């Protein structure tokens, strides 16, 4: 917001919006609805807006062999595992185009993530590290192609 002052009407506001969903149709509809809403607001307030960039990133599947190996390693370590349908991609989505990728999640108190209230106990972090090192070792020594 410029100027960033509580007693001055801003002349410019920048906003970043990111939608996440496995449903491409829902993502498209949300983008269209936002665009229509912004036009309505701009018309009513006699202001303008500019969309500098817009990207629709389709959902991506990660390397299934890596997921299967993660389940096997978790079982060997006595850890519970589960598949997770997530739209959290981090850098994995970009890397997935070039390398096999797997995301590992460890428990967080009350399921809170990416928040200052996020908390994971020490044992769960140690188990996550055991899982990660076991998975990497198996991937590097496996006859399956993870390269």
**Residue 40: pLDDT band with limits 50, 70, 90:** very high
Per residue in 96-139, pLDDT tens? 888 888 899 999 999 898 889 999 999 999 999 999 999 999 99
Half-sphere exposure of 60 (CA within 13 A, CB side): 19
Tell me which residue of 12, 7, 99, 92 sits closest to 49, measured CA to CA.
12
Query: DSSP code of 37?
Result: H
Determine if the pTM surpasses 0.85: no
Domain with CATH 1.10.150 in the chain: 64-141
Fold annotation for 64-141: DNA polymerase; domain 1 (1.10.150)
DSSP codes joined into one string, 95-134: HHTTS---------GGG--SSTT----HHHHHHHHHHHHH
Q: Hey, CA dihedral for 5, 8, 12, 15, is it positive or negative? A: positive
Q: Looking up tokens 């598949």, which residue turns up?
A: 83
Per residue in 56-110, pLDDT tens? 877 778 888 899 999 999 999 999 999 887 777 778 888 888 888 889 999 999 9
Helices (H), the chain: 24-45, 64-76, 92-96, 122-141
């Amino acid at each position: 917001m410029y100027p960033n002052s509580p007693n001055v009407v801003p002349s410019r506001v920048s906003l970043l919006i990111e939608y996440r969903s496995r449903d491409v149709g829902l993502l498209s509809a949300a983008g269209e609805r936002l665009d229509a809403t912004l036009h309505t607001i701009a018309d009513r307030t006699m202001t303008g807006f500019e969309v500098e960039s817009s990207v629709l990133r389709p959902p991506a599947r990660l390397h299934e062999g890596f997921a299967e190996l993660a389940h096997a390693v978790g079982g060997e370590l006595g850890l519970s595992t589960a598949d997770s349908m997530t739209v959290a991609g981090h850098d994995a989505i970009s890397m997935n185009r070039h390398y096999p990728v797997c995301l590992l999640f460890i428990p967080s108190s009350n399921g809170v993530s990416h928040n200052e209230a996020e908390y994971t106990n020490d044992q769960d972090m140690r188990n996550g590290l055991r899982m990660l090192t076991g998975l990497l070792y198996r991937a590097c020594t496996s006859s399956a192609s993870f390269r």
